[in-house]
């Protein structure tokens, strides 16, 4: 399912004394099956953009296209339930939204709300719990008796159980330990690959953006400052540094090495493996047998 934002503007509390322009002139095209990372400083408008992707917010100017649905400013957009079913959002700290007596009921809530039968919802709860790496015996427990990391996974399972075509992730690993972060990011990446799930990730981690995304959009003060493939974005690191943003460690190492040796590696490397191969080539090219 393709998604497009066309010249989207959003003002919180429009037409009140508290009106606040959050994003302006945002155009982003997300073809079906893309993994897109959205990066930018705090307050740059990332979460506001995300909430347009399933029509939780509707633009005050411009158009949002989600599959066959068009959501335009200045008009009543009805029947958005099918859109919300297709686009699952994992909010920051999604565990704060757990509320049912048992994990099973919590995961079943979304699908049942969208008309899935009880038996089918139960089956989905079991499958999605396994997908997020939890054991089935957790189903009968209260979500509030779980660890923070387990609660996060249950909340994610609740979104997966809706069987969305698009998954939207607002810093899904904030506050988790490094191992939990990697497990969850790898899980989203395999879902993306196996089910061709379009994935839109807000992250402060340049490492994750470089490792997982096909496309990167950089937001600055409510506008799109730059968009492109990770190779395009990270091959002019000066732009990022000027915006006060970081580059991945692997890119930082390459820049430092190139400065010290006065030699270029030929291409920008985004993984340790690529970097090792390029450095090996450089070294072997420099040493005569």
Ligand X SMILES: Nc1ncnc2c1ncn2[C@@H]1O[C@H](COP(=O)(O)OP(=O)(O)OP(=O)(O)O)[C@@H](O)[C@H]1O
User: Out of ligand X, Mg ion, none, which partner does residue 34 contact, by CB within 5 to 8 A per kind?
Assistant: none
Residues 33-52 within binding reach of ligand X (CB under 6 A): 40, 42-48
Min. distance of Cβ 243 from ligand X in angstroms? 13
DSSP letter, residue 49: H
| Alpha-carbon dihedral angle through residues 16, 20, 25, 28, given to the nearest 10 degrees | -110
Residues 6+ apart with CB under 8 A from 268: 231, 234, 235, 251, 254
Number of other CB atoms surrounding residue 205 within 10 Å: 18
Nearer to Mg ion, 39 or 125 (CB): 39
Min. distance of Cβ 38 from ligand X in angstroms? 8
Nearer to Mg ion, 47 or 128 (CB): 47
Which of 53, 138, 45, 47 is CA-nearest to residue 98? Answer: 138
Separation of alpha carbons 182 and 178, rounded Å: 6
Only one of the segments 24-32, 41-49, 101-109, 173-181 lies at the binding site for Mg ion (rule: CB under 5 A); that segment is 41-49
Min. distance of Cβ 52 from ligand X in angstroms? 10
Nearer to ligand X, 40 or 180 (CB): 40
Min. distance of Cβ 13 from Mg ion in angstroms? 18
Q: Are 21 and 11 in contact (CB under 8 A)?
A: yes
Angle between helices 178-195 and 148-160 in degrees, nearest 10: 10
C-alpha R_g of the chain: 21
Min. distance of Cβ 204 from Mg ion in angstroms? 10
Q: Is 147 left (phi over 0), alpha (psi -120 to 50) or beta?
A: beta
**At CA 22, angle to CA 18 and CA 25, rounded to 5?**
135
14 contacts ligand X (rule: CB under 6 A): no
Separation of alpha carbons 91 and 66, rounded Å: 19
Nearer to Mg ion, 53 or 107 (CB): 53
| Dihedral (CA of 119, 121, 126, 127) sign | positive
Min. distance of Cβ 173 from ligand X in angstroms? 14
Nearer to ligand X, 203 or 278 (CB): 203
Site size toward ligand X, by CB under 6 A: 12
Contact with ligand X (CB under 6 A) among 1, 3, 22, 233:
22
Strands 87-90 and 166-170 come out as: parallel
Contact with Mg ion (CB under 5 A) among 22, 26, 40, 47:
47
Min. distance of Cβ 20 from Mg ion in angstroms? 14
Structure tokens at 260: 């010290």
203 contacts Mg ion (rule: CB under 5 A): no
Nearer to ligand X, 16 or 75 (CB): 16
Residues that bind ligand X (CB under 6 A): 12-13, 20, 22, 40, 42-48
Footprint of Mg ion (CB under 5 A) = 47
């Amino acid at each position: 399912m393709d998604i497009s934002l066309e010249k989207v503007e959003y003002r919180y509390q429009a037409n009140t004394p508290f009106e606040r322009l959050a994003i302006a002139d945002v155009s982003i095209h997300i073809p079906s099956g893309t993994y897109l990372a959205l990066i930018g400083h705090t307050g740059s408008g990332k979460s506001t953009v995300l909430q347009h992707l399933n029509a939780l917010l509707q633009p005050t100017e411009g158009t949002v296209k989600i599959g066959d649905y068009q959501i335009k400013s200045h008009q009543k957009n009805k029947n958005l339930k099918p859109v919300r079913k297709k686009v699952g959002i994992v909010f920051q700290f999604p565990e704060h939204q757990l509320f049912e007596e048992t994990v099973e009921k919590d995961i079943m809530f979304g699908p049942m709300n969208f008309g899935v039968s009880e038996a089918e919802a139960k089956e989905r709860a079991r499958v999605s719990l396994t997908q997020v790496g939890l054991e089935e015996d957790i189903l009968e427990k209260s979500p509030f008796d779980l660890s923070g990391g387990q609660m996060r996974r249950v909340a994610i399972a609740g979104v997966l159980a809706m069987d969305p075509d698009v998954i939207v992730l607002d810093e899904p690993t904030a506050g988790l330990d490094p191992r939990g972060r990697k497990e969850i990011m790898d899980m989203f990446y395999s879902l993306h690959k196996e089910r061709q799930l379009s994935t839109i990730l807000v992250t402060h981690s340049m490492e994750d953006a470089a490792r997982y995304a096909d496309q990167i959009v950089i937001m600055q003060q409510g506008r799109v400052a730059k968009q492109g493939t990770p190779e395009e974005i990270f091959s002019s690191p000066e732009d990022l540094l000027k915006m006060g943003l970081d580059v991945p460690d692997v890119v930082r190492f390459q820049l430092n090495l190139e400065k010290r040796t006065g030699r270029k590696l030929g291409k920008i490397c985004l993984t340790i493996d690529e970097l090792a191969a390029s450095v090996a080539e450089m070294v072997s090219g420099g040493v005569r047998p």
